[in-house]
């Protein structure tokens, strides 16, 4: 497989003003990947992965954006998971991953189930507007999806996780239970600049690999991107604000780990055990506190 980190023209929130440039960067890097395949420098990938926000121009409505994506996908000759912002439903927006196939274009789709509050939607907008009009900087809310994202592409069943969905225990587990034999974390770290957020997110993806027993690809617009094997080891890790293409093979797994089989029950059991140990330690401490004065009284009596 291959994963394309196209980069953005700038870091921070201003990257949103360069939507077409971001799309062109990912299309250009994919076209270069296709040229490398034709030249025999890299093997033909079975599937290609683009990050979240690779196309903030809705390619299902904008013919020019669709043409750019189709040109890149047709050139590389492999189904490509495209991170895109879609118009709707209604007045809202959708943060989506779309499987774009050579010759046929868009097909299977996953809509992000857990949009980020205060970033992708404004909760209790009318209440917070009493304190600041900055709430309206989020002018349109992203609408949450309702279905688990498992999509067949290139012989793999890819479980799609978008950005900070990786921190929720249930979403990767549900994808695996639905048949995913690998996971991809599509993310856009441009707004966080050179902070440690990208590395923290990579740590979450590594945890999910071990927890689910699945290979995980974290692919970002700007980095950090990596191929992660089921043992949690990150391979071909990229730097921040660079253009890069990851190429390699990852194992596909169908077995279910103990954590996937039992889910939250494992966490609840460990929490209950921890609570019992704390209570037991507190009880022993109280016993010790009452025993010491009694021992001192006996010692004083014996001395007399």
Judgement on whether residues 181 and 104 belong to the same structural domain of the protein:
yes
Judgement on whether residues 57 and 143 belong to the same structural domain of the protein:
yes
Answer whether 30's CB lies under 8 Å from 75's CB: yes
Answer whether 224's CB lies under 8 Å from 237's CB: yes
Judgement on whether residues 186 and 297 belong to the same structural domain of the protein:
no
The residue written with tokens 């209950």 in the block is 272
**End residue of a domain, out of 218, 233, 255:** 255
Judgement on whether residues 297 and 243 belong to the same structural domain of the protein:
no
Q: How far is CA 52 from CA 13, 111, 249, 302, in A?
A: 15, 11, 22, 78
Judgement on whether residues 223 and 273 belong to the same structural domain of the protein:
no
Judgement on whether residues 126 and 160 belong to the same structural domain of the protein:
yes
Judgement on whether residues 189 and 276 belong to the same structural domain of the protein:
no
Distance CA 54, CA 52 (A): 6
Question: How many domains are contained in the chain?
Answer: 2
Judgement on whether residues 207 and 276 belong to the same structural domain of the protein:
no
Judgement on whether residues 19 and 53 belong to the same structural domain of the protein:
yes
Judgement on whether residues 294 and 250 belong to the same structural domain of the protein:
no
Residues 6+ apart with CB under 8 A from 255: 213
Give the residue numbers spanning the domain of 291. Answer: 263-304
Neighbour-count burial for 169-197, b at 16+ CB within 10 Å, e otherwise: eebbbbbbbeebbbbbbbbbbbbbeeeee
Judgement on whether residues 155 and 275 belong to the same structural domain of the protein:
no
Structure tokens that stand for 101 in this block: 């196939």
Q: What is the pLDDT along the chain (304 residues), one digit of tens a residue?
A: 999 999 987 655 455 557 888 999 999 999 999 999 999 999 999 999 999 999 999 999 999 999 999 999 999 999 999 999 999 999 999 999 999 999 999 999 999 999 999 889 999 988 988 899 888 888 899 999 999 999 999 999 999 999 999 999 999 999 999 999 999 999 998 888 888 999 999 999 999 999 999 999 999 999 899 999 999 999 999 999 999 999 999 999 999 999 999 988 888 898 999 999 999 888 877 776 666 665 566 655 666 5
> Any idea which residues carry the catalytic annotation?
52, 112, 163
Judgement on whether residues 164 and 28 belong to the same structural domain of the protein:
yes
Instruction: Write the CATH number for 60.
Output: 3.60.110.10
């Amino acid at each position: 497989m291959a994963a394309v980190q196209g980069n953005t023209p700038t870091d921070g929130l201003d990257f949103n003003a360069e939507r077409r440039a971001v799309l062109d960067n990912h299309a250009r890097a994919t076209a270069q990947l296709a040229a490398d395949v034709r030249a025999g420098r890299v093997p033909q990938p079975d599937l290609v992965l683009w990050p979240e926000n690779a196309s903030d121009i809705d390619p299902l409505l904008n013919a020019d954006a669709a043409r750019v994506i189709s040109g890149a996908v047709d050139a590389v000759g492999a189904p490509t998971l495209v991170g895109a912002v879609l118009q709707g439903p209604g007045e809202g927006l959708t943060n989506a991953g779309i499987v774009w196939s050579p010759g046929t274009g868009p097909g299977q789709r996953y809509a992000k189930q857990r949009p980020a509050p205060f970033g992708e939607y404004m909760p209790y907008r009318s209440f917070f507007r009493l304190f600041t009009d900055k709430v309206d900087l989020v002018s349109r809310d992203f609408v949450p999806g309702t279905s688990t994202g498992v999509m067949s592409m290139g012989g793999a069943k890819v479980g799609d996780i978008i950005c900070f969905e990786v921190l929720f225990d249930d979403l990767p587990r549900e994808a695996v239970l639905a048949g995913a034999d690998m996971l991809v974390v599509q993310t856009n770290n441009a707004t966080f600049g050179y902070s440690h957020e990208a590395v923290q997110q990579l740590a979450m993806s590594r945890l999910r690999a071990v927890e689910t027993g699945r290979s995980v690809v974290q692919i970002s617009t700007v980095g950090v991107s990596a191929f992660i094997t089921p043992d949690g080891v990150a391979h071909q890790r990229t730097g921040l604000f660079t253009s890069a293409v990851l190429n390699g093979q990852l194992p596909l797994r169908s077995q279910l780990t103990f954590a996937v089989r039992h889910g939250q029950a494992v966490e609840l059991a460990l929490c209950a055990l921890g609570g019992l140990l704390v209570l037991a330690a507190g009880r022993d401490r109280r016993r010790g506190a009452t025993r010491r004065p009694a021992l001192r009284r006996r010692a004083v009596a014996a001395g007399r």
